[in-house]
Amino acid sequence: MNEKPSDTSLAPFSCQYSPQIPELLLRLNCTIAITTYQAGKLVLISAQNEDALVQLPRTFPIPLGIAENKATDQLALACKDEIVVFSNAPQLAAHYPASPQKYDALYMPRTTYHTGPLDIHDLCFGKDGKLYAVNTLFSCVVSIDDRYNFTPFWKPPFIDQLVSEDRCHLNGLALKDGLPKYATAFNQGNSFQSWRENVTTTGVVFDLETNETVASGLAMPHSPRWFGDALYVLLSASGELIRVDVNNGKHEVIIKLEGFVRGMDLYKDYLFIGLSKLRRNSSTFGKLKFAEKANQAGIVIVHLPTGSLVGQIRYLTSLDEIYDVHIIADKIRPNILNTTTPDYKLGLMIPESTFWAKPEA
């Protein structure tokens, strides 16, 4: 695969990418959003033109799951001990003081839920307007609101109590018809971090409505997603994208990649999958069979109807591990502000207008 370097000076977040990817993003009219808790960044990857990509990294403390509410044009981001909700203000984007007329969207922080350190992984907006999250530390799926740190929504039937022990490493959540339906975990243990004992062969997929185990014996499942009329799951320990038959628990491999796969999103016919380097000094990841080959981090793009590889973005610096991948549709060059610098305080939104306040002298 021919690759084009984004920056030959190996600046932070330098990457190489297949030459057709900028044109693909322009044609799809979208931007890739990824989280890397290892580097503490949310990164927006956009097409600068038909030949080049441009990136916007923003700092957040241990960012993991990304959620989007298309009805309200909002994003949510799970971080170390909080969830931040952002609202898009295109009018603010047009007059962004640092770069006017550069961005077609600007996500402004509007609400922060102080959840505490729950090790939240996947995050989703339901069609009921609720924000659902996988509370990995307490081994349950929860809803998030402004009254409690979390409200339990579902827990695996073998978990006998809600305690902060990460008993089965519940991590992934899939919506079906706009509501939580499937979840992934590394095992069905009911004791402190029991999943570490045999991490590569005990993964499961649960049906939240029936409390049944849909599939088992999986290799570190992550990122369950319901696309069209089927459930897709990433098997991180084998580098495989699988389609699961929820009626009999069998699965078929769509594509096998040489790396630790985690985080994916489908847009139109294209599936964007996160690829991470393995931590070789890790007692959990270092034992995986493909540990020596899993030496790249980036994004792999797959044409889902054919299962063929379309292109890849490969990071050369800064980024080793990706958790989530999300496609922001109908935005070619979005921006997002964090709360670590005062810029966000100057962007004011009311129902019918927006304003940029003048910074104090």
* Entry pTM: 0.94
| 161 SS3 class | coil
What is the Cα–Cα distance from 36 to 123, expressed in whole angstroms?
15
Closest to 267 in 3D by CA, of 314, 220, 228, 324: 228
Q: Which neighbouring-strand residues pair with 134?
A: 141
Instruction: With beta carbons less than 8 A apart as the criterion, state whether 83 and 74 touch.
Output: no
| Tally: H helices and E strands in the chain | 3, 29
Amino acid residing at 193: Q
Q: Are 199 and 168 in contact (CB under 8 A)?
A: no
What is residue 38's predicted lDDT score, i.e. its pLDDT?
94
Contact yes or no for 230/221 (Cβ under 8 A): no
Q: What's the confidence (pLDDT) of residue 290? A: 60
Distance (Å, whole) CA 48 – CA 64: 26
Structure tokens at 62: 């241990």
**CA 360 to CA 263: how far, in whole Å?**
41
Question: pLDDT (tens digit, 0 to 9) for every residue of the chain, 361 residues total?
Answer: 445 555 446 899 999 999 999 999 999 999 999 999 999 999 999 999 999 999 999 999 999 999 999 999 999 999 999 999 999 999 999 999 999 999 999 999 999 999 999 999 999 999 999 999 999 999 999 999 999 999 999 999 999 999 999 999 999 999 999 999 999 999 999 999 999 988 899 999 999 999 999 999 999 999 999 999 999 999 999 999 999 999 999 999 999 998 999 999 999 999 999 999 986 556 666 666 665 666 899 999 999 999 999 999 999 999 999 999 999 999 999 999 999 989 999 999 999 999 999 887 6
Match domain 4-347 to its CATH number in 3.90.1150.10, 2.40.110.10, 1.10.8.50, 2.120.10.30.
2.120.10.30
Strand order across the beta sheet in which 179-185 lies: 172-176, 179-185, 203-207, 212-218
Residue whose entry in the numeric block shows the structure tokens 């030949």: 51
Place of tokens 């909080």: 82
Reported in sequence order, the residue ranges of 63-166 that DSSP labels E, i.e. its strands, are 66-69, 74-78, 83-88, 105-113, 120-125, 131-135, 140-144, 151-154
The structure tokens listed for 270 are: 């294209």
- Please give the pLDDT value at position 258: 84
- Tell me the C-alpha distance between 210 and 176, whole Å: 14
Of the candidates 336, 338, 320, the residue with the CA atom closest to the CA atom of residue 59: 338
Residues 6+ apart with CB under 8 A from 79: 60, 61, 62, 63, 64
Measured from the Cβ of residue 59, the count of other Cβ atoms closer than 10 Å reads 13
Q: Are strands 230-235 and 221-227 parallel, antiparallel or unpaired?
A: antiparallel
Spell out the domain ranges in the chain.
Answer: 4-347
Please give the Cα distance from 73 to 155 (Å, whole number). 30
The bridge status of strand 334-336 relative to strand 105-113 is: parallel
Cβ atoms of 253 and 202 closer than 8 Å: no
The pLDDT of residue 212:
97
pLDDT at 7: 46
